[in-house]
Structures are given as structure tokens and as C-alpha cells.
Structure 1
Amino acid sequence: MTAKVMARAIMIQGTGSNVGKSMLVAGLARAFADRGLRVRPFKPQNMSNNAAVTVDGGEIGRAQALQARAARVSPVTDMNPVLLKPETDTGAQVIVQGRRHATMVARDYAREKPKLLAAVLDSFHRIAAEADLVLIEGAGSPAEINLRAGDIANMGFAEATGVPVILVGDIDRGGVIAQIVGTKAVLDPKDAVRIKGFAVNRFRGDPSLFDAGMEEIARRTGWATIGLVPWFDKAWRLPAEDVMDLRGGRNRGAFRIAVPRLNRIANFDDLDPLTAEPGVSVDLIEPGRPLPGDADLVLIPGSKATIADLEHFRAHGWDIDLAAHVRRGGHVLGLCGGYQMLGRWIDDPEGIEGRPGRRAGLGLLDVETVMKPGKQVRLTEALHPETGLTVSGYEIHLGETTGADCDRSWLRIGSRAEGAASANGQVRGCYLHGLYASDAFRAADLARMGGESGLGYESGVEETLDALAAHVERHLDLDQILALAGPVST
């Protein structure tokens, strides 16, 4: 009988949010998968409105979906068992193992966290059962010691599983020695001892100039040096999880797309293939700025709080700008929540998004939406009858949209018509996310509006993941990471 090989696991925590943990885990996942290991990503708790739909029909953070892709496996809900989707400044929808659990304010969630640890551990052990190596990503920073009680995202998880930790600091934001040494200083000694090594991310310039800095961190912490990782210049080619990472692509093409920055913008991965297009300029319009008069397309993205974001849209005068854009002959596309906003009415009789009632939409499509409790979460394949092209994407929304302009639907999902269009075709909307990832459809749709495509998006993501794997292989000690990884106890 062949003995079962026990999985090993290592946790990547950061000195703060957005220090590059997600990207390093993706690079490590591809690098270790290329070595022939069965790699699985895992994040106990994530906070993001940019969710991905999994093959088992649930929701996880998009970073974990990218990490799964890097590991060359399909994403499943167990890879991110707790997902927080902010709906207000103090409250969020809580997704547990891919399904809506509750909507809670922060104080109530803090009390709920210890109860969720069982679900987190359940998912972790299922993931570990099919892996040689589990790469675990922390959230925020373990230095937030005010959140240590009941923690499931960082040291609380490490303590519950016995998993060793590597701490990552970000030199680009400055003060990286203080970031790392300071983290050790504030941690409880029982937590500090769980950290076995450190890495410094996003270095620019001659790395030898920081040799003394790395030595000083190692001397003051006693932790092993895992590596100094230079800035990865192709990072913008990978799907963004945080809206702060969007900022539009690096391209300033002739075809200009304006995207109003909604307060609760969600599922904005729709923008990733467009920001990468060499002939396209994607401008994320911050509150206080008007929608530009020279835009070819105004794209209203998804929202986690459609009615509140509709009010936000009007409060900044974007409704007036949008009406002027349409009068000038400009194109408009609303996706999911943006689609709902374009209609005549949004009716929320049960108060799913707050106060029950009926609100006027932007009135650019002759449709109306009724909010209903059942959330639609599914991977979807659709036909674009105008071109005969098939596109793959996903649906993740509340509400049902009907009306006269749905008779001009521009997609078909099986026997079901999907989407709506104005009589002149200038204004369109649909619930299907991810349709622009299809190179052929994106090229056809840009051409319809006067733009052009010069990009293979999906192949570009794969090439970038390969380049990222080579980058971390070159600058991190992967053999040492494997040696530090601990066995998963069951």
C-alpha cells in the first residue's frame, strides 16, 4: 500500500494591506505548479466586492480565482471560505463557503468571527486533502493587534492550524525596516514565533543598496531572509481585485472609455481586458470630476448597492453628463447594477438594499428592475446573435429586469433572451460579466463603436503569470519556502 503524502502549508502575511501578498501567492502558485506540485491557494477571510464565481456555483475573492488559475486548477468556494462584501461604510454582506450568510455591521461581525472558524478550518482541510502544498494568504496585517481576539484571517488562523508564516513588507511605500521590525515588536511573542521568515517586495533600483537593510531586519527579528523582490512591471496586466489598483491601463489609445467610480463598485474585472487594449483609453472618473465630453463610451459597472450608487451618481451630476453624452451620439453600456440604473425604475418592495420603495432610474432604457431576495450566481455561456460569437462569463446579481427594450436583447443564454438596448442601439445593458474577456467579441464590439482591438487578453494573462513565476523564482528562495512549510494536521 502506498502511504498518503501529507500536504504542507505556508502562510504569507503582510505588514499592511496592498503590500503585494496576492500577487506573490499567484507567482508562487505558478512556480511551484511548474515544479510538478499540486498547489492550492487559500485565504481564510477576504474583503472585496470584486468576486469571482466558482465551478461549484459560489463566490470567492477574485484574487483567489487568479491564484487558482496560476496553480492551473479551477477555483472552488473552499479557497476563500469567508468573503466580506461591503455594502455601507460600517456593514457588509458575509459570504460563507460561497453562499450568503448574513448582512452585518462591523461590531456584530466581530462577535461572529469565532463561530466562523469552524467553517474556515473545514474548507482548509478539504483543500489540503487534494494538495501537496497550500499557499495561504493573510488579510491586512497581524500588527492590527486590536483585532487579534477572535481573529480568523492572520495569526488566529495560524494558531488554529499550526501553519508557519512568512511576513512580507512593501519597500515602495517607505519605512520597510520599521514595517517588519515594528510588526514583531507589537506582536504577542507566541504569535511572533510563528513567523519563520520575511521578504521585502516592490524594490526599485540596485538591490545591493539594500543589503545592509536586509541584514538589519534579520538581526533585529531573528527571522530567515526569503528574498528581496523587485517591482514587477507587468503586474497591471493581471486582473485587479482592489479598485485602487485600477487607475486605468497604461494605454492612451484613441478610443476613450469613461467609467464613473461608483461608491460600491463591484465586479469591475469587466474593465481588465479593456484597460490592456493598446488602442483604448479607460478613464476611471472619480467623484467630483465630470464625465468627459469626448468619451466614446460611458461604461457603468456593477455595484454592491445599486440604489445607493444611483443616488451617488446623481449627487455628482453624472446623470446630466450622461444625458449630454447620449445627445452627442455617444455609446453607453451598463453591466449588472449599471444596467439596472439605466432603466426607468428600480423597485425594492422588501427593502433588500435599505428603505423599501420605488426609485426613478436614469431613464435611458425602457426597462424596470424589481429587487428580489434570491441571488443569481452562476457561470454562464451566451450567444451574441449579431455576430454569431459565443462568450463565456458569469452572473452574480439580485433583481429581475423587464420592459420594452428587453425585446431588443443582444445576448441569448440558452433559450433565454438577455440584456436590453435602446431603439437606436446607443444604450445597452446586460447582467453578464466577463464578456469582454473574449477576444473576438471585444474586437467586434469595439469595431461597432468605432474602436479597434489589438490584443489577445487571455493569452496575455497566461504569459504574465509565467513571467511572474519566473520573477519570484529568481528573487525568492523557493527551496527555503518549501523547507519552512509545515505539515497540515488533521
Structure 2
Amino acid sequence: MATLMIQGTTSDAGKSTVVAGLCRVLARRGVSVAPFKPQNMALNSAVTVDGGEIGRSTALQALACGLEPHSDMNPVLLKPQTDQGAQVILRGRVYGNMEALDYHLFKAEAKRTVMAAWQALSSRYDVVIAEGAGSPAEINLREHDIANMGFAEAADCPVLLVGDIDRGGVFAQLVGTLELLSESERARTRGFIINRFRGDIGLLEPGLDWLAAHTGKPVLGTLPYLQGLMLDAEDSLQRENGTQDRVAFRIVVPALPRMSNHTDFDALSLHPGVALSFVGPDRPAPPADLILLPGSKSTRADLDWLRRQGWEAVIQRHLRYGGKLLGICGGFQMLGTAIHDPHGLEGEPGSSEGLGLLAMTTRLVPGKQLHNVTGRLMLGEKVPFQGYEIHNGVSEGSALGRPLLQRKPGAGKGGDEGAISPDGQVVGSYVHGIFDHPEACDALLNALGMRHAAAAVDRDAHRQRSLDRLADVMESHLESDSLAQLFRL
């Protein structure tokens, strides 16, 4: 068994992308390889084959390996609910809610979970590629660290450090990070990867030579900036999909403060007939054919934010003029008449008045629903769909008598799901990923008012092509002999 850890100088330096690419490179060569992220903080998550929950970026890396996601691959997942608190998920299961200081004290306990998951994963695969979180040079978080060097030291594995040259200052990033590490941590850092380079490599080479001479660490490769590469993100949000067609179907998504699983909309970003835009705080809502209310980790708080931002009036006006509205998961709950959280699962216990657009109420109850589901859309020709559910809410009311979906029993929860208003303008569902498959995507968009001939993109096929493209680039730009030695291949 061999473990290599990829760490970064900053958040979004490209760690997740590098790990996904290396996983695909090794998998294509027939190596038994699996991804591992000791600790992740993200609101985008996926349901695992063992009925747990992990970050979506790690699930994508599992796909790169040709594996089903497993809870051992991301043993600690933190899902922020406030600026100082998060839901803590250990090996796929909810452990509880913690404030930041409480979790910092809990990390010694969490480390045992991390090491147990890593050992279990290592017993099943020949190579494990681990991914750090944020930067290893966060001095205030070094004690009981499990996300970066704390794990690398415990697992006694080599580390490669990724720097993002597109942000500027990449040499300061790399040298400064190395300087803030302990002697043993610097020793296990075996080299650097420069990410997102644009331009003539000849102009960069003197800097690479200096970096190697100054630190005694080799640069194992410089990866180019890949235009159009779109892979599942942890939290970063693409604000627009770039479609400029005046006749495109216009979809607007309020960018909720605790928006979860915004990867639901990746397929819409790729759709040639859709103009998708996310609207952040204090920005006016642009004209739309469809308003999409996304999932939320703090549904009542995000509903309050919507109201403060004037979205309730925007939605009412949108519906008066014949527009359509779709809510997914937390967004679906907002469409009802009330949301009750008696146990304080997402904040202070209490109730909130909903938007009153569907005749239903929602109660948040302990015991998260985690299901991969398949079935048929209850629209027109009833085309097949597949997706997943991640929620604590149980909704009841007459609106559910006009369901959007019919789930197959067996794999996950069966039966009717979702709701369609009597006039067909307001639609809601708990199911994430419903746009990922082209037939279901087009059927749903057509039901919501799209009349263009452009067909949806197969999101799964696009992921596979993107992973192969990424692996091709890595094989041509990284020193394969050095990597082979690190992997003990």
C-alpha cells in the first residue's frame, strides 16, 4: 500500500483537480487506487454506496477511479450552518452540530475516525491519494490538525504541494508555505506542482530553476490552465454559464448564503439552450423564465435572507406574469406554508412561515434521509430519472397529491415524491441531480416552459470526458518517473 498526499498553498489552488487527474491516470493503467480526504468543509455532498454522505469533490475522484463513493473516502465532513457552526458528519453519519471552538477541541477524537477510515481504505486498495484542505500553513489550526500535515505525519506519507500561478505570487505561496512547516513536514514535502499556467513556459523556467535550487525540492510539473474544464466543485460557484443567445431559456438562482449542492445546476450551465445566472446579495434579479430555489443547509435562515433581499416580491411578480418556479430540497420546503424545526437541527428551534405557494408543511426530524433514487417523472411520457436525496425534512399536505416523481422501490425510498401546483407554475422536489441526465433534464425544462430545440448535455458523459482530458494533460506535463517512485510503483 502507498499513500501520497496532495496539499495546496491556498483554498482552490487545484488540489481536488490534481487528485482527480492522478486517480484517472492510475486507474487507466490498471492500478487499484482510491481517493481520500481526511476532513472536508463543503455544502456540496453525495450519497455513498454504504448509505453515508461525503463531499462531492471526493465522489468525483471516486468516479475517476472507476469506484462507487464510500464513506471511508471522506471520514470527516463539515457542513456549515452559520459563520461559526457546522454539522459534523463522521464516516458518512451525522454526529451532531458544533461551534467552531468546540470542534477544534473535538479534533483529537475526530483523528481516530480519520485514521480508522484511512486504514480501512488502505487495506482494500494498493494506492491511496489523499487531499488536504485549505493550506497546511494555517498556524492557528495546527494543533490536533487532521486535514493536512497532521494526517500526513500520522500516516507517514509523502506530500506534494500545489500552487496556483493564475492568482499571482506562486513562488511566494510555495516558499512561504514551506517556511511555515516544521522540519519533519518540510522533509516529507517531496516537490511542487504549478497549476493553471498560461503563456510561454520558457518565460517561467528561470523561476522554476530558482525554486528548485532555493528549496531543494523539484517541480514535478506545470499544468496549463484548462479552458472549459467543469468538474464537481466543493463550494466555488460559477456565476454564469456564458450563454448569450437572446432566445435562450433564462434561469435565475438566488445564491443563498448556505446554498447546498449547487452542483445540481452544472448540467444547466452546460445546456446550449439555457442562460443560467446566480444572483448574489444586493443584486437585482434579472428577467427570468424560471426561478430555481436551491437546496440549503439552513433553510429557515436562508428563507429569511430571501425575504430581506426582496425575493418574495420578485417571485410573486414572476408568477403573476406566467413565470415558473422550481424548488429543490430546502428550496422545496420554502414553497410550503410552514417549516418547523422543533429540535434545532439547523439552528435555533422554532418555526417559520413559508412562501405559501404549495399546500404543505415541513418538519425537520432527526435521522437524515440518504438515498440514491431512480424512477419516472410524472410528466407527459413519464421519462426515467435518477438522483439522490439528502435531507432531514418530512413534508405533508395536499400538494403532495400531485407528485412530480414516482420513485422505484428497492434502491432507496420508493413511492411518489415532490409536488406540482394545480396551475403547473410551481414545482418542487427533494431529489438532487435531477438535471444530470439529458432525457429527464429536457422533459423537466419543457414542462417548465422551455420551447427551444437545443438538447441537454449528458452530465455523466461530460464528467468522464473531462476526467480523461485532465488525465491526458497530467500524463504529458508531470514527471511520471518521479510520481511512480512516490507511489512505489
Q: Work out whether residues 383 and 443 of structure 2, in 8 Å CA contact, stay in contact via their aligned partners in 1.
A: no
Work out whether residues 145 and 187 of structure 1, in 8 Å CA contact, stay in contact via their aligned partners in 2: no
CA distance in structure 2 between the partners assigned to 1:315 and 1:459 by the alignment: 40
Q: Give deviations 1:358-391, integer Å, cap 9, x for gaps.
A: 2111111111111111210111112213222221
Residue identity in the other structure for 1:417: D
Paired residue for 2:420? 421
The C-alpha deviation readout for 1:396-436, integer Å capped at 9, x for no partner, is 00111111211111211235210111111010001011111
Q: Work out whether 1:364 is the aligned partner of 2:357.
A: yes
What is the alpha-carbon root mean square deviation over aligned residues? 1.3
In the TM superposition, what are the counterparts of 1:283-298 in structure 2 within 5 Å? 283-292=277-286, 294-298=287-291
Q: Secondary structure at the match of 1:398?
A: strand
What is the letter of the counterpart of residue 473 of structure 2? Answer: H
Does residue 197 of structure 1 match 2:187?
no
**Alpha-carbon separation, structure 2, partners of 1:80 and 1:14:** 18
Instruction: Provide the identity percentage.
Output: 47
Is the contact made by 1:290 and 1:321 (CA closer than 8 Å) also made in structure 2?
no
Partner of residue 165 from structure 1, selected from 137, 159, 162: 159
Give 1:480 shift. Answer: 1.0
Aligned to 2:346: 353
Deviation at 1:249, TM superposition (A): 2.0
Letter in 2 for 1:112: F
1:129 aligns to what? 123
Aligned match of 2:450: 450
Aligned residue number for residue 411 of structure 2: none
**2: CA distance between counterparts of 1:329 and 1:158?**
56
The one-letter amino acid of 2:190's match is: K
Q: Does residue 342 of structure 2 align to residue 340 of structure 1?
A: no
The answer to whether 1:38 aligns with 2:38 is: no
Equivalent residue, structure 2, for 1:103: 97
> Deviations along 1:95-123, whole A, 9 cap, x unmatched?
00000012111111111111111111111
User: 1-side partners of 2:312 and 2:488: how far apart?
Assistant: 55
Contact 1:50–1:241 under 8 Å retained in 2: yes
Partner of 2:226: 232
Q: CA deviation at 1:319?
A: 0.7
What SS does the aligned partner of 1:347 have?
A: strand
The one-letter code of the counterpart of 1:145 is I
- Partners of 2:443 and 2:166 in 1: how far apart? 40
- SS at 1:159 equivalent: helix
Q: Higher relative contact order by CA 8 Å / sep ≥ 6: 1 or 2?
A: 1
Counterpart among 193, 200, 213 of residue 206 in structure 1: 200
Within the alignment, does 1:60 sit opposite 2:34 as a pair? Answer: no
Does 2:325 match 1:326?
A: no
Aligned residue type for 1:409: P
Matched with 2:468 is: 466
> 2:241: which partner in 1?
249
SS of the residue corresponding to residue 397 of structure 1 reads strand
- DSSP-derived class of the 2:339 partner: strand
Specify every segment of 5 or more residues in structure 1 that has no aligned partner in the other structure, as ranges. 1-6
Distance in 2 separating the partners of 1:61 and 1:159: 23
* TM-score for both structures, normalised by structure 2: 0.95
Q: Which runs of 5+ in 2 are unaligned?
A: 409-413
Question: What's the offset of the Cα at 1:252?
Answer: 3.2
1:486 is displaced (CA, Å) by 6.0
CA contact (8 A) 1:261 1:284 kept: yes
My pick for the range that moved more, 10-19 or 415-424, is 415-424
- Amino acid paired to 1:246: Q
2:292 equivalent in structure 1: 299
Q: Which amino acid aligns with 1:439?
A: P
Residue 317 of structure 1, CA deviation = 0.4
> How many pairs are equivalent?
478
- 1:251 and 1:276 in contact (8 A); partners too: no
Deviation at 1:186, TM superposition (A): 1.4
Cα distance in 1 for partners of 2:38, 2:184 equals: 20
**Whole-angstrom CA distance in 2 between matches of 1:451 and 1:139:** 43
Asked if 1:412 is matched to 2:406, the reply is yes
Aligned mates of 1:333, 1:199 — CA distance in 2: 42
Partner of 1:109, secondary structure, is helix
**How big is the shift at 1:478?**
2.6
- Given that 2:39 and 2:74 are in contact with CA atoms closer than 8 Å, whether structure 1 keeps it comes out as yes
What is the DSSP-based 3-state SS (H/G/I as helix, E as strand, rest coil) of the residue aligned with 1:464?
helix
Q: Which shows bigger deviation, 21-30 or 478-487? A: 478-487
Q: Distance in 2 between matches of 1:405 and 1:42?
A: 42
Displacement of 1:241: 2.2
Deviation at 1:481, TM superposition (A): 1.3
Report the residue type matching 1:353 in the other structure.
Answer: E
Aligned counterpart, 1:116: 110
Query: Partners in 1 of 2:124 and 2:139 — Cα distance?
Result: 33
Kept in 1, the 8 Å contact 2:161–2:193? The answer is yes
Alignment counterpart, residue 487 of structure 2, candidates 459, 465, 485: 485
**Cα distance in 1, alignment partners of residues 291 and 314 from structure 2:** 10
Local SS of the residue matching 1:444: helix
The offset of 1:240, in angstroms, is: 2.4
Residue-by-residue CA offset, 1:156-193 (whole Å, 9 max, x unaligned): 00110100000010001110000001111111112111
Distance 1:240 1:106 in 2: 23
1:290 Cα offset (Å)? 2.5
User: What residue identity is the alignment partner of 2:450?
Assistant: G
User: Any idea what the Cα deviations from partners look like across 1:61-104, whole Å, max 9, x if unmatched?
Assistant: 10000000011111100000000000000010110000001211
Q: Contact 1:370–1:399 at 8 Å: present in 2 too?
A: yes
Give, in whole Å, the separation in 2 of the partners of 1:131 and 1:69: 15
TM-score normalised by length of structure 1:
0.95
Q: Deviations over 1:198-251 (max 9, x none)?
A: 111000111111001111111111112200111011322x22221x33223233
Alignment partner, residue 388 of structure 1 = 382
Structure 2 distance, partners of 1:447, 1:384, is 12
Q: Is the 8 A contact 1:250 1:276 kept in 2?
A: no
SS at match of 1:275: helix
